[in-house]
Amino acid sequence: AQSVTQPDIHITVSEGASLELRCNYSYGATPYLFWYVQSPGQGLQLLLKYFSGDTLVQGIKGFEAEFKRSQSSFNLRKPSVHWSDAAEYFCAVGARREYGNKLVFGAGTILRVKS
């Protein structure tokens, strides 16, 4: 069965500093991988996804993530954080199926940005 671990419950960074949010997954093969962001009272917004090909994927809002098969990781990065990035971030994995691909989410990492 798939599972996702986000080791950091909370992370605080200064505005303008770099950011890395960790995600490790468990799955028997190469999964589909996603990062979502959730602001308070909002639904989930897709930041980026990995399906195949280049292991470094670019997303919206200046985020990127790197798939490392050997480490079963898909860490999210941003070179310079903005105050508006404060939110909760979820990593998710999905099986490589034709349809009905339910997502398994991690518990989330709350990002705080200090000025």
Partner 1 sequence: GAGVSQSPRYKVAKRGQDVALRCDPISGHVSLFWYQQALGQGPEFLTYFQNEAQLDKSGLPSDRFFAERPEGSVSTLKIQRTQQEDSAVYLCAITISGTSGSAKGNEQFFGPGTRLTVL
Which parts of this chain interact with partner 1 (CB under 8 A)?
Answer: 4, 32, 34, 36, 41-46, 49, 51-52, 90, 92, 94, 97-108
The two three-digit tokens of residue 12, written as one number: 């605080």
Least separation in angstroms between residue 67's CB and partner 1 is 14
Smallest gap from Cβ 43 to partner 1, in A, equals 4
- Return the number of the residue (54 or 115) whose C-beta is nearest partner 1: 54
Q: Are strands 10-14 and 109-114 parallel, antiparallel or unpaired?
A: parallel
Of 13 and 91, nearer to partner 1 (C-beta) is 91
Cα angle value 11/108/48 (rounded, 5°): 95
Quote the CA–CA distance of 48 and 68 in Å, as a whole number. 15
